[in-house]
Amino acid sequence: MNTPVAPSVDVIMPVYNAPELTKRCIDSAVTYLGQSIGTIYVQDDASDTETCVMLDHLRYRQLYVFHAPENQGFGKSVNDAAARSDADLVLVLNSDTEIHENFLPLLCEALAADPELAVISPTQDNFSTSTLDRYQRRTGGYVATYRFQGYAFLIRRTLFVAMGGFDAQFGRGYFEDTDLGRRLIQHGWRMGVHPDACIHHAGGASFGRGRSYRLLAQRNRALYLSRYPEARRNILLVSGHCTLADLSAQLADSIEQVLRQGGGIHWLTSSPLPQLSCLQMRNGPASIKMIIKLMLRGRSRADKRISAVWILPGTPVLLRILLALFVRVRKLEMRKWEAEQFESAKRLSDSQQNFSAKPVLKQEITKQNSE
């Protein structure tokens, strides 16, 4: 019986200034992942002198530093570094992350267990365990996500290259990761976050959170939403005592379509849901206070606003009246799901969920892996 060969893994780290955080990230990668990885490709994106000198004085055997002559942005830096690697998988780390454990075995096991899983991330340490425990786990132990965040992720390298990597139109950064996630989902791939793997992420180290960041984020958000207008959809789903297991196949499919297109589900119930299907599904109490709070959100961000109201059987009459008023005032879409639609309801299992085929890309990846 042949023993499975562990996949090869290289680390990619785009760097722009923040020398202390960058060194801390590199040190932690060597300390905790050193035995599990090949090369650490540091792509210095035209940093200042202090950062360049710090990088050049590091003496780790696995470290390869490339100094770009001009600033290219996060996406292009990752693309260039990935082109130098020949590993099966690449772990991309923001330079403001810090590792405290070897989470690679967990991430690699998830990719091995689910051949449709394209990319998986460790959890940021600001997530509480109790929150993550509410989400269904897929084959491989991960929680599904439909919104890719690039702070730290393990991805199939040949797939990343075949997809063209990050789109350079997003410039220095922000939303290039979300855009790649939409393209992966459109080709039938899955994305996940592993609740048992954790990483610290400081956030905003390279460009801060000042005016330049806000302008860049605003510009790239508009570009992203122009490509995927359905990502603006935020559904307010209101019910009485109802769980995922009670959903009809038709409603479950409607929810799935919203999520796959980048939208969100805000599900208000009489009692807390024991399980949620993915990170873009949120649950709260079916109360007047919560409905008003959600209806008032997104005053400065159209993509955060509630765009439609779906009412399920068991919703109290008073809440139905309030929702009807909001729908009329805000000119929203409203859908009512009748009780008879739930008579034969059952939750779709992982194997029953409808993921679109990806014949072209899958053939490309299979061919590259066999050569």
* Domain residue ranges of the chain, discontinuous segments joined by +: 9-227, 230-352
- Cα angle, residue 263 at apex, residues 262 and 266 outer, rounded to 5°: 145
Residues β-bridged to residue 12: 41, 92
Q: How confident is the model at residue 132 (pLDDT cuts 50, 70, 90)?
A: confident
Residue 363 has pLDDT above 70, yes or no: no
Residue 362 has pLDDT above 50, yes or no: yes
Residue 229 has pLDDT above 80, yes or no: yes
Task: Report the alpha-carbon distance of residue 185 to residue 261 in Å, rounded.
Answer: 8
Query: Could you name the CATH architecture of 9-227?
Result: Alpha-Beta Complex (3.90)
Lowest average pLDDT, out of 111-115, 234-238, 342-346, goes to 342-346
For the chain, the first-to-last Cα distance in angstroms comes to 23
CATH number of the domain located at residue range(s) 230-352 in this protein: 3.40.50
Q: What is the mean pLDDT of residues 300-324?
A: 94
Contacts of 31 (CB under 8 A, 6+ apart): 99
Residue 270 has pLDDT above 80, yes or no: yes
- Cα angle, residue 331 at apex, residues 330 and 335 outer, rounded to 5°: 110
Please report the pLDDT score of residue 349 as a whole number: 42
- With contact defined as beta carbons under 8 Å apart, do 262 and 337 qualify? no
Residue 313 has pLDDT above 50, yes or no: yes
- At 339, is the secondary structure helix, strand, or coil? helix
Residue 371 has pLDDT above 80, yes or no: no
Q: What is the mean pLDDT of residues 283-299?
A: 93
Instruction: Tell me which of 177 and 209 has the higher pLDDT.
Output: 177
- Cα angle, residue 369 at apex, residues 368 and 371 outer, rounded to 5°: 65
Please report the pLDDT score of residue 14 as a whole number: 97
pLDDT digits (tens, 9 = 90+) for 350-361: 444 444 444 446
Task: Report the alpha-carbon distance of residue 284 to residue 310 in Å, rounded.
Answer: 15
- With contact defined as beta carbons under 8 Å apart, do 205 and 233 qualify? no
Please report the pLDDT score of residue 204 as a whole number: 65
Q: What is the mean pLDDT of residues 21-32?
A: 97
What are residue 87's phi and psi, to 5 degrees? -75, 160
Residues β-bridged to residue 179: none
